[in-house]
Amino acid sequence: MTTLVDSFGRIHKDLRISLTDRCNLRCSYCMPAEGLQWLNQADVLSAGEIVRVARLLVQYGGITSVRLTGGEPTVRADLLEIVEQLSQLGVDLSLTTNGTRLVKLAERLKVAGLNRMNISIDSLQPQRFAELTHRDQCEQVLDGINAAVGAGFSAVKLNVVLMRGINDDEILDFLHFGRKHGVIVRFIEFMPLDAHDKWNETLVVPEREILATAGEVFAFTRGERGSAPSSRFFYNDGVGEFGVISSVSAPFCDSCDRIRLTSDGQLRNCLFATRHLDVKSLLRSDTDNETIIQAIRGEVQKKEAGHNIGNVYFVKPSKSMSQIGG
Under 8 Å between Cβ of 223 and 233: yes
Least confident of 130-134, 172-176, 246-250, 307-311: 307-311
Confidence of residue 248 (pLDDT cuts 50, 70, 90): confident
Mean pLDDT, the chain, whole residue set: 89
Q: Looking at the predicted structure, is the pLDDT value of residue 194 above 70? A: no
Identify any residues that bridge with 248 across adjacent strands, giving them in sequence order: none
pLDDT (0 to 100) of residue 144:
98
Identify any residues that bridge with 142 across adjacent strands, giving them in sequence order: none
Structural domain range at position 39: 4-324
Q: pLDDT tens for residues 152-180?
A: 999 999 999 999 999 999 999 999 999 99
Q: Looking at the predicted structure, is the pLDDT value of residue 98 above 90? A: yes
- In total, how many domains does the chain have? 1
pLDDT (0 to 100) of residue 313:
47
Q: Looking at the predicted structure, is the pLDDT value of residue 40 above 80? A: yes
The Cβ of residue 65 has, within 10 Å, a number of other Cβ atoms equal to 19
Which residue has better confidence, 32 or 236?
236
Among residues 84, 82, 92, 164, the alpha carbon closest in space to that of 122 is found at 164
3-state helix/strand/coil string of the chain = CCCEECCCCCEECEEEEECCCCCCCCCCCCCCCCCCCCCCHHHCCCHHHHHHHHHHHHHHHCCCEEEEECCCHHHCCCHHHHHHHHHCCCCEEEEEECCCCHHHHHHHHHHHCCCEEEEECCCCCHHHHHHHHCCCCHHHHHHHHHHHHHHCCCEEEEEEEECCCCCHHHHHHHHHHHHHHCCEEEEEECCCCCCCCCCCHHHCCCHHHHHHHHHCCCCEEECCCCCCCCEEEEECCCCCEEEEECCCCCCCHHHCCEEEECCCCEEECCCCCCCCEEHHHHHCCCCCHHHHHHHHHHHHHCCCCCCCCCCCCCCCCCCCHHHHCC
Average pLDDT score over residue span 30-43: 70
Q: pLDDT tens for residues 56-90?
A: 999 999 999 999 998 899 999 999 999 999 999 99
10 Å CB burial of residue 7 (0-12, 13-18, 19+) is exposed
Which residue has better confidence, 316 or 275?
275
CATH number at residue 302: 3.20.20.70
Confidence of residue 308 (pLDDT cuts 50, 70, 90): low
